[in-house]
Amino acid sequence: MSAEKAAGTALNTFLNIEPIDLEYAGLKKGSLQGEVAVVTGGASNVGLGYARAIAWAGGKVVVADINGEAGLETERVINAENAPDTALFVKTDVTKKEDVRNLAAKAFEKFGRVDILVNNAMNMRLNGPVLSSPVDDLDQSYAISARGVMLAIQEFVPGMIERGHGIVVYSATQFHYCPPLVGGSIYTAGKAAATSLMMSLANEVKDKGVYVFCLTPAGVGRFDPSKMPPLPEGVEIPKDLPKITMPGFDGMIPPEAGGAALVYCLLHAQELHGSGIIINDAFMAMNYPYPNPSTVRKIDSRRLTDPELTMVFCNMGPGFAK
Ligand SMILES: NC(=O)c1ccc[n+]([C@@H]2O[C@H](COP(=O)([O-])OP(=O)(O)OC[C@H]3O[C@@H](n4cnc5c(N)ncnc54)[C@H](O)[C@@H]3O)[C@@H](O)[C@H]2O)c1
């Protein structure tokens, strides 16, 4: 059995993924040759799709995740799918300064530099209402989102500015505030804080050769419904929501396709600087990034060759100067 096949088989059982080949989306192998990326939360679901897609496109990838077992398996599989020394796993809690510093040290030691930072880690279980959640959950949501993003930016972006070459991405959410369907007010508060940091960073690095955008993987992933947190009491999923897919429901975009969207955006980073992009136009209804429709503008809409994979480009909103 080939290395790819062996890797794919192992992944299907443990990491819950399919073999990856992004040519269907019009992407080319080697398009990210020479680039070194860090993907936080890269050992499962969306982040795993991102890490594998970057490697497929020829980049080196450092997977930073708090989950050691999945992280090591991710490193093994990406190397098997590509070539030895394509991936490096560094066990990292992005909320801890010493961990993020260690991540940078290990990445620089192995690959010499980092060109692409994908801030993707989050704890999706921080999913409660404002009125009844422990305030510690809010601290944790900010710690992973805002603090984790800022720590990573401070480790990796100075080198990018020095070389005049870099991209910073954040896995934002389509829920700028929390609709009753989701009940994740604490989650969205953390995401909003990190999105705000990214908007400011876009202004700070203007004209420095570093490009910054948010990519919202709306409805991307393969979830095990039994592992999802319960909906808040009294909340029911409306039966007539065919396209607005939620964890545990049908219609999710597979993580490999999410990876294709990321690679596409990385290759167009310069023109996307300061933007918020939603993978899955069904979620335009959520008025990302601001609840006031007049601040949201659909500036472009593209379709890769995969009919499942639509991307909507939105303004980041006030504060961003092109
Ligand atoms: N899946 C979606 O539909 C969707 C939609 C909008 C936004 N997002 C965002 O995309 C990102 C990925 O989503 P997902 O569905 O793959 O989530 P997930 O829960 O499946 O994966 C998150 C990963 O982050 C890791 N992680 C958690 N805490 C960490 C920490 N402190 N330090 C390092 N790693 C940590 C986890 O171990 C896991 O591997 C998240 O930021 C999420 O908010 C996802």
Q: How far apart are the first and last CA of the chain?
A: 51
pLDDT (0 to 100) of residue 257? 86
pLDDT (0 to 100) of residue 49? 95
Tens-place pLDDT, residues 37-73 = 999 999 999 999 999 999 999 999 999 999 999 999 9
In short, whether 119's Cβ falls inside 6 Å of ligand 1 is: no
pLDDT exceeds cutoff 50 at 302: no
pLDDT (0 to 100) of residue 322? 42
In short, whether 93's Cβ falls inside 6 Å of ligand 1 is: yes
pLDDT exceeds cutoff 50 at 231: yes
pLDDT exceeds cutoff 90 at 13: no
Spatial separation of the C-alpha atoms in residues 100 and 140, rounded to whole Å: 16
Instruction: Compute the distance from residue 171 Cα to the ligand 1 centre, in Å.
Output: 8
pLDDT exceeds cutoff 80 at 227: no
Spatial separation of the C-alpha atoms in residues 56 and 86, rounded to whole Å: 10
Tokens of 314: 């939105």
DSSP state, residue 111: H
**Could you tell me which residues are beta bridge partners of residue 302?**
311
pLDDT (0 to 100) of residue 162? 98
Query: Average pLDDT of 20-28?
Result: 87
Higher pLDDT, 108 or 127: 108
The residue nearest atom 23 of ligand 1, judged by CA position, is 41
Tens-place pLDDT, residues 67-79 = 999 999 999 999 9
Instruction: Compute the distance from residue 1 Cα to the ligand 1 centre, in Å.
Output: 32
pLDDT (0 to 100) of residue 309? 54
Task: Provide, rounded to the nearest whole percent, the portion of the chain with pLDDT above 90.
Answer: 49
22-315 adopts what CATH topology? Answer: Rossmann fold (3.40.50)
pLDDT band at 232 (very low <50, low <70, confident <90, very high): low
The residue nearest atom 10 of ligand 1, judged by CA position, is 171
Tens-place pLDDT, residues 172-193 = 987 767 665 556 789 989 998 9
Instruction: Name, of 158-167, 174-183, 245-254, the range with top average pLDDT.
Output: 158-167
pLDDT band at 281 (very low <50, low <70, confident <90, very high): low
Which H or E run includes 55?
Answer: helix 45-56
Among 159-163, 208-212, 257-261, the range scoring the smallest mean pLDDT is 257-261
pLDDT (0 to 100) of residue 279? 78
DSSP state, residue 22: G
Residue indicated by tokens 């994979």: 309
Spatial separation of the C-alpha atoms in residues 47 and 253, rounded to whole Å: 13
Higher pLDDT, 275 or 247: 275
pLDDT exceeds cutoff 80 at 295: no
Of 50, 142, 170, 187, which residue is the catalytic one? 187
Tens-place pLDDT, residues 74-99 = 999 999 999 999 999 999 999 999 99
pLDDT exceeds cutoff 70 at 253: yes
Query: Average pLDDT of 1-21?
Result: 60
In short, whether 145's Cβ falls inside 6 Å of ligand 1 is: no
The residue nearest atom 9 of ligand 1, judged by CA position, is 171
Q: Tell me if residue 288 is catalytic.
A: no
pLDDT exceeds cutoff 50 at 36: yes
User: Domain coordinates of the chain in residue numbers?
Assistant: 22-315
